[in-house]
């Protein structure tokens, strides 16, 4: 790919600039300071990484008036959608990749998009929220990591994205282990809400990983003639890495779904046991309630109304009626049945 991006100057007034590096011979990084003037059409060897904050609205004017970027690449770079994409244009590759934000304190709770334009001599990247993967690669470069070309940099970023979602998968698995232990001892209510959150996080993370995996496989199919040998080789390695993460994330999501089904079944069984006990109690108290209702009628000639011990006889009838119902239920085997209708041993 020929360079489709030109950075004429990088000064203190550059809108939205977060950092910029020039990579020289062997991929050695050199961080650019305010006074540096950068032109990728210079005779000196090397390539650039320019990372900007898309929140700064002045970036639009700077990129439109400075670097020569294909219109379709700029449209994607400044788009307001939340979809991942990778497109192969003339002399460049551009798109948007999902990454976990630095502001997130829970697994995959918040994700943002890293937008990029990649050429032979420049990687232009931008984001609206601080992202974990870009920040990690930035730290490695500050520590002296060498990167031979822009394709190696985008590979390092996607590797960090994969590692981030791999960490998320480990966190979700640990949470599922705690829920499973609680389910095995019959404690369904306490962890039902946690399981719902874990399943939502697993579904969200799996969608992101599956989408990125699909994009990398699609990129790989373009072949080295259009992508260049370096980018095609790194896309093959990334495809294998994302296949592994996607498989693990799918397994975690399936496990969360099975555990949620088991929790729902356990809570249903508990509810049925409570209803069974309530039905037995209702059946035992129904005849005494009928008797007390009869003796509570305000009519003449009620039985036992003229007997001194009539109240005790009425109480005895209540107890006798409840005992009779209990005996009938016992003889019919109703008291010996579980909530599934089977007779207990």
299: domain CATH number is 1.20.58
pLDDT of res. 1: 52
**Strand, coil or helix: 200:** helix
Secondary structure (DSSP) of 246-273: HHHHHHHHHHHHHHHHHHHHHHHHHHHH
Q: Is residue 20 part of a domain?
A: yes
Residue 267 confidence (pLDDT): 78
- Rounded to an integer, the average pLDDT of 122-137 is 92
The secondary structure of 77-94 as a DSSP string is HT------EEEEETTEEE
In a domain, 240, yes or no: no
**230 in a structural domain:** no
Point out the domain boundary residue: 98, 128, 147: 147
pLDDT band at 126 (very low <50, low <70, confident <90, very high): very high
d(CA 123, CA 85) in angstroms, rounded, equals 16
CA distance 148 to 251: 36
The whole-angstrom distance between residue 247's C-alpha and the CA centroid of its chain comes to 15
Domain count, the chain: 2
Residue pLDDT, tens place only, 272-329: 888 888 888 888 888 888 878 877 777 777 777 777 777 788 888 888 888 888 888 7
Band of residue 188 on the pLDDT scale cut at 50, 70, 90: low
- Per the CB < 8 A criterion, the answer to whether 132 and 67 are in contact is no
The pLDDT score that the predictor gives to residue 14 is 65
Residue 14, in any domain of the structure: yes
- For 77-98, what is each residue's pLDDT tens digit? 888 888 899 999 878 899 999 9
CA dist., res. 316 & res. 309, Å (int): 11
Q: What is the reported pLDDT for 288?
A: 84
Where is the domain boundary, 97, 118, 147? Answer: 147
* Predicted TM-score of the model (pTM): 0.76
- Structural domain includes residue 111: yes
Q: Which residue would you say has higher pLDDT here, 33 or 3?
A: 33
**Could you report the per-residue pLDDT of 191-211, keeping only the tens digit for each?**
677 888 888 888 999 999 999
Query: Which residue segment(s) compose the domain that 325 sits in?
Result: 267-332
SS (H, E, C) 50-73: EEEECCCCHHHHHHHHCCCCCHHH
Check residues 43 and 67 and name the one with the higher pLDDT. Answer: 67
Mean pLDDT of the chain: 81
Instruction: Band the pLDDT of 189: cuts 50, 70, 90.
Output: low
Using CB atoms within 10 Å of the CB of residue 296, give its burial: 0 to 12 exposed, 13 to 18 middle, 19+ buried.
Answer: exposed
Residue 172 lies in a domain: no
Instruction: Specify the pairing of strand 85-89 against strand 47-53.
Output: unpaired
- 195 located within any domain: no
Q: Assess if residue 11 is contained within a domain.
A: yes
Last residue of a domain, one of 147, 180, 209: 147
Q: What is the pLDDT of residue 276?
A: 82
Q: What is the predicted pLDDT for the residue at 34?
A: 54
Task: Label residue 10 by pLDDT band (50, 70, 90).
Answer: very low
pLDDT tens for 259-274 read: 888 888 887 877 888 8
């Amino acid at each position: 790919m020929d360079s489709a991006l030109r950075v004429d100057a990088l000064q203190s007034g550059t809108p939205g600039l977060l950092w910029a590096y020039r990579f020289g011979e062997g991929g050695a990084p050199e961080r650019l300071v305010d006074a540096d003037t950068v032109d990728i059409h210079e005779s000196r060897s090397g390539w650039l990484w320019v990372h900007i904050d898309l929140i700064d609205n002045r970036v639009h004017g700077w990129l439109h008036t400075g670097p020569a970027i294909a219109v379709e690449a700029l449209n994607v770079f400044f788009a307001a959608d939340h979809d991942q994409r990778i497109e192969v244009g003339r002399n460049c590759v551009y798109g948007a990749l999902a990454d976990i934000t630095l502001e997130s304190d829970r697994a995959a709770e918040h994700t943002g998009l890293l937008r990029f334009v990649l050429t032979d001599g420049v990687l232009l990247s931008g984001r609206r929220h601080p992202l974990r993967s870009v920040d990690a690669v930035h730290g490695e470069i500050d520590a002296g990591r060498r990167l031979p070309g822009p394709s190696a940099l985008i590979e390092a970023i996607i590797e960090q994205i994969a590692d981030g979602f791999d960490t998320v998968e480990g966190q979700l698995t640990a949470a599922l282990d705690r829920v499973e232990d609680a389910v095995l001892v019959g404690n369904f209510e306490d962890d039902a809400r946690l399981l719902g959150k874990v399943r939502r996080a697993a579904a969200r993370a799996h969608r992101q990983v599956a989408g990125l995996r699909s994009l990398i496989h699609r990129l790989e199919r373009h072949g080295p003639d259009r992508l260049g040998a370096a980018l095609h080789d790194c896309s093959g390695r990334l495809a294998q890495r994302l296949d592994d993460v996607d498989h693990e994330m799918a397994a975690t999501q399936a496990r969360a779904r099975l555990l949620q089904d088991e929790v729902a079944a356990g809570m249903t069984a508990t509810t049925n046991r409570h209803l069974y006990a309530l039905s037995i109690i209702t059946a035992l108290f129904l005849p005494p309630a009928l008797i007390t209702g009869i003796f509570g009628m305000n009519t003449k000639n009620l039985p036992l109304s003229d007997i001194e011990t009539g109240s005790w006889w009425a109480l005895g009838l209540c107890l006798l009626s409840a005992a009779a119902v209990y005996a009938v239920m016992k003889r019919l085997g109703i008291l010996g049945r579980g909530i599934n209708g089977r007779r207990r041993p």
